[in-house]
Chain A
Amino acid sequence: GDSVTQMEGPVTLSEEAFLTINCTYTATGYPSLFWYVQYPGEGLQLLLKATKADDKGSNKGFEATYRKETTSFHLEKGSVQVSDSAVYFCALIKGSQGNLIFGKGTKLSVKP
């Protein structure tokens, strides 16, 4: 069945370091891909999305590019801040409005 695999956490970085969180997926057809973020004590929030191959989603300095050839959607940020400390979830949707299939999440801690 369809699935999402994320790199294991936790990831600990110093402020202003470069961030990459790997995400690969298995799905038939052409899913839409998402990154959600969960800050401590808050609900899941959509960070960015891409709906077709080679699309780049971006928001708050984060970017991810939909790579169909490698079935990947890696999350990157050039310079992380302490406020980026959160759990990040990669997810996919089959079709235009199906249910989300999530990875296990990657916890990011950014130290000052």
Chain B
Amino acid sequence: DTGVSQDPRHKITKRGQNVTFRCDPISEHNRLYWYRQTLGQGPEFLTYFQNEAQLEKSRLLSDRFSAERPKGSFSTLEIQRTEQGDSAMYLCASSLVGGVRTEAFFGQGTRLTVV
């Protein structure tokens, strides 16, 4: 296993279009997180899943954002009707709750540019 992978690495879209990002966590990890990072800021929490259940959503996650983890493995983050303010790096992380090592491992992120 090579760690958390995210696809695509870069996405340029026009304002108003929908975009979808994918995250494949470390295979045995049961928890999956989404964060957003803008230039000069630290990552900000968006939402997380325990297996397939979405347990918490930040108020940053507006109605235009939706995340799924249908089989408790990979996850998708969709942004509808993108706005320029959505331009950011979207980070996915996974962890194993109840394991020996519980820290979160991060993917390289998907950089979204809305033009």
Contact = CB atoms under 8 A, between A and B. Distances in A.
Contacts of B67: none
Interface residues of B, number: 25
Interface residues of A, number: 21
B28 interface: no
Contacts of B97: 97
11 contacts: A43-B108, A44-B91, A46-B103, A89-B42, A89-B43, A97-B31, A97-B97, A100-B93, A101-B45, A104-B41, A105-B41
Nearest to B48: A99
B21 interface: no
Given A43-B4, A43-B91, A99 B56 contact: yes
A89 B31 CA distance: 21
Interface in A41-72: 41-46, 49
